[in-house]
Amino acid sequence: MVCTPSLDATSLETLLAAAVAAPSIHNTQPWRFRVNPDTHALEVRAARERSLPMADPDGRAQHLSMGAAVFNLRVAAVHLRRQPEVRLLPDPSEPDLIAVVRLGGAIGPHDRSRRRLDLYDAIARRHTSRMPFTGRPVPGPVVMEMSEAARAEGARLRLPDIAGTRRLLHLTAVAEARNHASSSRTAETRAWITPPGSDRPYGIPVTALGPPDAARRMPARDFTGPLPALHLPALRFERHAQVALLWTAHDRRKDWLQAGQALQHVLLTATAYGVRTSLLHQAMEWPDLRAAIGHPRRPCCPQLLIRFGYGPDGGRTPRAGGWETADRPAER
Ligand SMILES: Cc1cc2nc3c(=O)[nH]c(=O)nc-3n(C[C@H](O)[C@H](O)[C@H](O)COP(=O)(O)O)c2cc1C
């Protein structure tokens, strides 16, 4: 690995630790990182071997996940008091090169790009929580800040009322039932669940899964199916869930990467205010249901449903280093 004065080993470790902490579909961590020996820039590349052909044939969710990692790199760069310079999809002849990130000029103590909220601190504290929430509503100003976070990245949050929420959860439940009925989709999902004691650095440990909703209102993804040993007793989820639909105006790879950055900006903003989050992606995995989620009068490209509220923290999920082998920082 080549380290320049502007990208030393300690900075690299800070950047990478932040990047790999990002959420990813089924914790596939579909990224790899490398320092370009000629330009000394940090490259984010797609790890195609960790894609989901059934749930995500176009790689849209994979791009959302990689976009979230890019956002964490930006936050970590600011934490290092350096201006992040990011180019998305910089080379059409290299489709797996997702982003190039450089540390630009120094950020002074009064620079406006230093965020008021400590999003860096939130990176390590954010975990998907699939547990029931208390039902205490998240205050309007916090929700507005989450909405502005999405907008800052070129995406939007739709905040539905009770009827709109019920509709989105119903479409998610329809998708969940279809996933359940598909043996190939169920097999793909289960392949990413890891049993207790496993040292696999990818996938979701059973300890991070949530219980089913006793009132059957919350169509959380059933990762394990009818395996009796993995079944948790049902609990009652919040009666009026708060959800936000993350959407973009267009549906190109660049939009997916922007949506991923928006997702992470929203999740870290929520975390900074003590708000827990979980994600419902099932309806996005069926083209007709995804289209139905789009607003009938104001068409949009739905990307992900975010559930938020107050409640217990989520269980921990493992992470791999994320380096291409030759680029792993030397032991110090
Ligand atoms: C694009 C995307 C889609 C996801 N979809 C779901 C989902 O449908 N259900 C769910 O429980 N978690 C979902 N997740 C959350 C991941 O399972 C989670 O991020 C991953 O297991 C890592 O755990 P962590 O978020 O606690 O770090 C999704 C995450 C991303 C980025």
Q: Is the pLDDT of residue 11 over 70?
A: yes
Q: Is 64 in the pocket of ligand 1 (CB under 6 A)?
A: yes
CA of 265 to the centre of ligand 1 (A): 15
Of the chain, the end-to-end C-alpha distance in Å amounts to 14
Q: Is 121 left (phi over 0), alpha (psi -120 to 50) or beta?
A: alpha
pLDDT digits (tens, 9 = 90+) for 23-77: 999 999 999 999 999 998 999 999 999 999 999 999 999 999 999 999 999 999 9
- Domain 9-124 identical in fold to domain 140-309: yes
pLDDT digits (tens, 9 = 90+) for 154-184: 999 999 999 999 999 999 999 999 999 999 9
Least confident interval from 61-70, 283-292, 319-328: 319-328
199, HSE (Cβ side, Cα atoms, 13 Å): 0
The phi, psi pair for 88, rounded to 5°, reads -90, 140
Q: Is 279 in the pocket of ligand 1 (CB under 6 A)?
A: yes
Q: Is the pLDDT of residue 136 over 70?
A: yes
CA of 204 to the centre of ligand 1 (A): 9
CA of 175 to the centre of ligand 1 (A): 16
Q: What pLDDT, on a 0 to 100 scale, did the predictor assign at position 1?
A: 42
Q: Give the SS3 label for residue 244.
A: strand
Q: Is 128 in the pocket of ligand 1 (CB under 6 A)?
A: yes
Q: Which residue has the higher pLDDT, 330 or 175?
A: 175
Q: Where are the beta strands (DSSP E) in 179-257?
A: 193-194, 204-205, 242-248
Contact (Cβ atoms closer than 8 angstroms) between residue 211 and residue 235: yes
Q: What pLDDT, on a 0 to 100 scale, did the predictor assign at position 115?
A: 61
Q: From the CB of residue 23, how many other CB atoms can be counted at a distance below 10 Å?
A: 23
Q: What pLDDT, on a 0 to 100 scale, did the predictor assign at position 255?
A: 98
- The superfamily (CATH) of domain 9-124 is NADH Oxidase (3.40.109.10)
Which of 254, 249, 191, 203 is closest to 63 using CA atoms? 254
Q: What pLDDT, on a 0 to 100 scale, did the predictor assign at position 186?
A: 95
Q: What pLDDT, on a 0 to 100 scale, did the predictor assign at position 6?
A: 61
Domain ranges in the chain are 9-124, 140-309
Q: What pLDDT, on a 0 to 100 scale, did the predictor assign at position 76?
A: 97
Q: Is the pLDDT of residue 254 over 50?
A: yes
Question: Probe ligand 1: pick from 128, 171, 221, 261, max atoms within 8 Å of CB?
Answer: 128
Q: What is the CA radius of gyration of the chain?
A: 19
CATH of domain 140-309: 3.40.109.10
CA of 68 to the centre of ligand 1 (A): 11
Tokens 């910089």 belong to 90
State both tokens at 61.
Answer: 């969710």
